[in-house]
A and B are shown apart, each in its own frame.
Chain A
């Protein structure tokens, strides 16, 4: 876990990609889940942040 945070601090690609992936996955789940309307409301912004982050961080160094 500490390795993950160290990677984030040092702008390493792996941990940042992982974070972006989690955000995209969470956003898609929030968009399609049948439980909470508030989660659906915030789904798009979550997915958008994750997707833009993914595009940017995929250019970081390993």
Chain B
């Protein structure tokens, strides 16, 4: 008998267990392997979802567990969907989501396109560019708070250098007009490398012979870019937008660290509002309904997006 790892494992299996396994069908063995994963999925994902849906129809408060829980129908949903504060937080989320995705896609694709050209120090530059992505959002939020300081912050001095304005004349985090842009800048700084990496993978997957054929056909560089590069990178780009879109819809840590939702509630994105309802006001039923609204929105968007991605891949 050969001394392979498989035979070693077979020898190490106790005879009683081996006898039991030998009597099982392939399907049963497959279920034994898949079972724990399905159980964990049900326990960690599906059960909390169903429980949240259930709570969203109640007036349950997690800090008053002795109080009787009443089913109040769709009242939580009606209140949320008529609440102008939550409407404002949705608008803040939309501003953050739209601008971060636009900037990250534009800058990320441009960087990937530049990095894809072969030049000296290419790998070093890639490593330097992807560094922000590896940092914790709490750390990034913390040091950008210092960079945005009107008195000592480097950001204000850089802006002052280019515009000639007084560095202490504006506050990125304290101004109602600038605070939404300050979180867009930080998220773009942190996550553009992620979009760049995905675009780079797309660019490197384009075979050289396609460009060579285009050269033979005397296609200009601009035409090659729009008829070869863009269409072939599009599925990758869409994947990056999907990932960043879902992530930014739920953005919490970075915004909490930078502005805490302020000044006032200018940067209070949906997840911060949700956290306040759930763990500061302790309106668990209400917060559950809010979470379900966000979940359905993200799920709907992701469904459309996956469909679009499959269509692009088929082309």
A residues bordering B, Cβ < 8 Å?
17, 21, 24-25, 27-28, 31-34, 37, 40-44, 47-48, 50-51, 54-55, 58
Of chain B, the residue at the smallest CB distance from A25 is B304
Query: Given A24, A33, A55, which contacts B301 in the complex, CB threshold below 8 Å?
Result: A24
For the residues of B in contact with A, the DSSP-based class is helix
Residues on the A chain within 8 Å of B304, using CB? 21, 24-25, 54
B residues bordering A, Cβ < 8 Å?
77, 81-82, 84, 87, 90-91, 93-94, 293, 296-297, 299-301, 303-304, 307
Q: Are B303 and A54 in contact (CB under 8 A)?
A: yes
Q: Are B300 and A50 in contact (CB under 8 A)?
A: yes
Tell me the bound Cα distance from A25 to B297 in angstroms. Answer: 9
- Which of B84, B93, B297, B301 has the most A CB atoms < 10 Å from its CB? B297
Give the A-B contact count at a CB cut-off of 8 A: 52
Known: A31-B297, A44-B296. A51 touches B303 (CB 8 A): yes
Q: Are A41 and B82 in contact (CB under 8 A)?
A: yes
Residues on the B chain within 8 Å of A41, using CB? 81-82
Residues on the B chain within 8 Å of A33, using CB? 91, 94
Query: Given A17, A42, A51, which contacts B300 in the complex, CB threshold below 8 Å?
Result: A51
Tell me the bound Cα distance from A5 to B293 in angstroms. Answer: 31
Of chain B, the residue at the smallest CB distance from A54 is B303
Tell me the bound Cα distance from A54 to B77 in angstroms. Answer: 22
Report 16 cross-chain contacts, Cβ distance below 8 Å, ordered by A residue. Answer: A24-B300, A31-B297, A32-B91, A32-B93, A33-B94, A34-B91, A37-B82, A40-B81, A40-B87, A41-B82, A44-B81, A44-B297, A48-B296, A51-B299, A51-B300, A54-B304
